[in-house]
Amino acid sequence: MFSSAGPRSLYAPKTPQTVEDLGIPQSLVLDLVLRRTMLEGFATLNSLSAALRMSVPIVEFAFRHLRQQQLLEVKGMIGNDYQFVLTSSGKQLASDRFQISQYAGACPVSLKDYSAAAKAQSAHVKIDRRALKAAFSDLVIPDRLLDQLGPALISQNSIFLYGPSGNGKTSIAERMLRVYVDGVLIPYSVEVDNQIINLYDPVVHHRVDYDDPDVDPRWVLCKRPCLVVGGELIPSMLELRLDEASGIYAAPLQMKANNGIFIIDDFGRQLMSPRDLLNRWIVPLDRKVDYLTLRYGVKFQIPFELMVVFSTNLDPSDLADEAFLRRIQNKIEIEPVQPEVFDMIFQRLMTLKNVPAEYDSAEYLRKLCLSSGRTQLRACYPLDILSIIQSISQYESRGVNVTKPDIERAVELYFAKS
């Protein structure tokens, strides 16, 4: 869905040229230079600039400050650049600072700048049925469902997807990201009260190759994030986590998902109760701000600029009370598939996998799926049954060909006997 020119962010902070422009304490900048120089051994202004994502004038300021305190010693020149090492006093101080925090990566941005960026980059979606159909082109989705998803995505309010399992709730939620055509700038880390919170996560944040020398290098241009959690979600994942060994905080999941989508799959089956999760997020969903706390009690506010998608096969009224459900304005039921949609899924799958099938295989499979007391068709049945047929064919050392006997064998393996 991204244009050939690549996604861009409307937010574009200029590269700071002075320590004051960084927006963080000078002491933190000096600590970063000390720790990085200790790690590199022999350092240069350019090497520190690249590693710490700070402009050369700022690194040079720190270099002169530390040199004046006899913490750095110049060993020579590489072109017009200094090559230097830590003095014995510098090594001792760097080691002491390393005991407090081992962070020596990209210079963090201030909480104020991060909050401003998250608000400036809040998503605005312009989409109609035609564009939405293109975004979900690899799924078979009825127009009625598209017409429910479209307004919900435009609103950027939270969404509750519910209905029987196996009908594509997770697949639909994950593809919602395709409606975004812009990128977002995400900082490597954020500074709060002289503490560093690691935010950029390459597992969640997918970088976009884009180089603009005028944009602050402490920020990474990424596609809007989409973070999916399931039954493994526990309360600690929604709070700051301090790594005792390194002295660095890890951002909670909702902070990593800012300016994107946070999908809670199988909602109601987490280790934490639905009530605990909903109570934790009543304020963020209502006011678009969240509150986090450092280990020693300092509490601060962060933006909650994300679309939360709850996906469940349980009854929403059993999971949340009316007060919370009111805060989730979009409630969309993903119903069992109709026979014609089931057949379309089957035919599309056969074409995609290039598997030959008897002309009435879809109808035959559909009837078997509705036998033995089963009354609903699921969107997952065709792919699951085909996977079993492929395994049967491999077991018997023959090519895959969807026949009625193979469909019968696969269905018998797939469904538990009542």
Q: What is the pLDDT of residues 346-368, one digit of tens each?
A: 999 999 999 999 989 999 999 99
Answer whether residue 7 shows pLDDT above 70: no
Q: What was the pLDDT predicted at 289?
A: 95
Average pLDDT of the segment spanning 389-406: 93
Output phi, psi for 185, to 5 deg: -90, 125
- Tokens 């590489």 correspond to what residue? 78
Yes or no: say if 281 and 264 are a contact pair by the CB < 8 Å rule. no
Token pair belonging to 14: 């200029």
Residue 89 has pLDDT above 60, yes or no: yes
Residue 53: predicted pLDDT: 97
Across the range 276-291, mean pLDDT stands at 87
Q: What is the mean pLDDT of the chain?
A: 92
pLDDT score for 261: 95
- The domains located in the chain, with CATH, are 25-106 (1.10.10.10), 115-333 (3.40.50.300), 339-414 (1.10.8.60)
Take residue 175 and report the two structure tokens written for it. Answer: 């593809």
Q: Which one is predicted more confidently, 322 or 406?
A: 406
Q: Are 249 and 240 in contact (CB under 8 A)?
A: yes
The whole-number average pLDDT for the span 220-244 is 93
Q: What percent of the chain has pLDDT over 70?
A: 97
pLDDT, mean of residues 312-324: 79
Q: How far apart are CA 337 and CA 339, in angstroms?
A: 7
**Contact predicate 402/392, CB 8 Å:** no
Is the per-residue pLDDT at 3 higher than 50? no
Residue 65 has pLDDT above 90, yes or no: yes
What whole-number distance in Å separates Cα of residue 415 and Cα of residue 160?
Answer: 29
Q: Is the pLDDT of residue 6 over 60?
A: no
Region 391-396: what's the mean pLDDT? 94
Q: Tell me, what's the pLDDT at 329? A: 83
Whose CA is closest to 260, among 294, 218, 223? 223
pLDDT of 4 over the 50 cut: no
Res 417 pLDDT > 90: no
pLDDT at 113: 97
State yes or no: pLDDT of 1 exceeds 50. Answer: no
Rounded to the nearest 5 degrees, what angle is found at the Cα of 84, between the Cα atoms of 191 and 97?
A: 35
Give the distance from CA 203 to its chain's centroid. Answer: 8
- Give the pLDDT confidence of 96-147 residue by residue, as tens digits: 999 999 999 999 999 999 999 999 999 988 889 999 999 999 999 999 999 9
